[in-house]
Structure 1
Amino acid sequence: MPQIRPATPADLPAILDIYNHAVLHTTATYDHTPVSLESRQVWFAERQAGGFPVLVGVGDGGEVLGWASYGPFRPRLGYSRTVEHSVYLAPAAQGQGTGSQLLEALIAQATADGYHSMIGGVDGENDGSIRFHEGFGFRECGRLPQVGHKFGRWLDVVFLVRRLQEMDAPGHGEE
């Protein structure tokens, strides 16, 4: 069973490799061009500065099998209790339970951090990811047809949401 732990700067090359594999070979991200290590370093620093987790699933040999994070859904104050998450796995780690462990850890962290809802955006053709999210209590809340494109075709985005905990809405102007 992989160990789930907070990512460190030393994990960024593996996080980068996993993400760039998805960029080049999948519609899990609509990025078309691989990203640089420098851009991942900036992303990681921004996550840390914002108090948002970056988690890794690590195998017995210390190899990073996958990573997960969440951040703001949208920048306006009215969305401050909602986060959007990402989970990415190395191809060899898919279907081995690492994704489930990472998502469970993200849900627990977001709940402990006082968030109300978590959102995932998934390619509309990725039935496996949609079912995966549904298994964790996410439900489809919107499908945006042909809003993305990759590999020479139009793509639908499906938004899935899970309420993490019941809470009163903050007062006007409060986070």
Structure 2
Amino acid sequence: MSADTAEVQVRPGAEGDLASLTELYNHYVRETAITFDTVPFTAEQRLPWLRSHPEDGPHRLLVARDAVEGAQDRVLGYATSSPFRPKPAYSTSVEVSVYLAPHAAGRGIGTLLYERLFAALATEDVHRAYAGIALPNEPSVRLHARLGFRHIGTYGEVGRKFGRYWDVAWYEKRLES
């Protein structure tokens, strides 16, 4: 299923989105092993994260909002590109992620967000994108495969959350022509 772009607005994240983005992310912190954060954040705690994703450059934040009248302009999801590792030689690699509001899953919004993110990154000096997927997460595996990521390895039992260990599969996508 693909997102109807007339019903979904994708734009760079702004400070006005912070409360909604924090609420969305905290759902995954509290309810899932998709993120290995274990304590929910306040919006104030997430502000440096938001500010680390400007409108241009290789580290971006794109937000999908419901553009249908009467839908209260609610956040449907977001995608980010962030530094892959802190050392300078990694500067042409980014780690990407996408988070969807539970009510927005299965509508093609993750695909739309990633397509817009990769289009923006095409103008940047970025060579590779990497995504880590806590397993099991078949919808995320399918999304990344559909967008041209290839599985490059799995860290076994690398994170502990909810009293158990989780594997993380790593995926890579070539971004330059």
Structure 1 residue 130: deviation in Å? 0.9
Residues 1:118 and 2:99 are matched in the alignment: no
User: How does the TM-score come out when normalised to structure 1?
Assistant: 0.90
Q: Secondary structure at the match of 1:47?
A: coil
CA RMSD of superposed structures (Å): 1.4
2: CA distance, partners of 1:65 / 1:50: 22
Amino acid at match of 1:120: A
State the partner residue of 2:174.
Answer: 163
Aligned positions of 1:13-162 closer than 5 A: 13-48=19-54, 51=57, 52-59=59-66, 60=68, 61=71, 62-162=73-173
Amino acid at match of 2:60: P
1: CA distance, partners of 2:56 / 2:40: 24
Amino acid at match of 1:56: V
List gaps (5 residues or longer) in structure 1: 167-175
User: How does the TM-score come out when normalised to structure 2?
Assistant: 0.89
| Aligned residues of 2:11 and 2:62 also touching (Cα < 8 A) | yes
Deviation string 1:108-154 (CA, Å, 9 cap, x unpaired) is 11222121100001012112211110000001111000110111110
1: CA distance, partners of 2:54 / 2:65: 20
2: CA distance, partners of 1:49 / 1:163: 22
| Aligned residues of 1:71 and 1:85 also touching (Cα < 8 A) | yes
- Measured at CA, do residues 127 and 48 of structure 1 come closer, stay the same or move farther in structure 2, by a change above 3 Å? same
Deviation string 1:45-80 (CA, Å, 9 cap, x unpaired) is 122299421111111231111011111100111111
Residues 1:5 and 2:11 are matched in the alignment: yes
1: CA distance, partners of 2:65 / 2:56: 24
Structure 1 residue 89: deviation in Å? 0.6
Amino acid at match of 1:27: A
Matched residue pairs, number? 166
List gaps (5 residues or longer) in structure 2: none
Question: Percent of counterpart pairs with the same letter?
Answer: 39
Q: Secondary structure at the match of 1:109?
A: helix
- Measured at CA, do residues 118 and 157 of structure 1 come closer, stay the same or move farther in structure 2, by a change above 3 Å? same
2: CA distance, partners of 1:13 / 1:63: 11
2: CA distance, partners of 1:67 / 1:127: 19
2: CA distance, partners of 1:118 / 1:105: 14
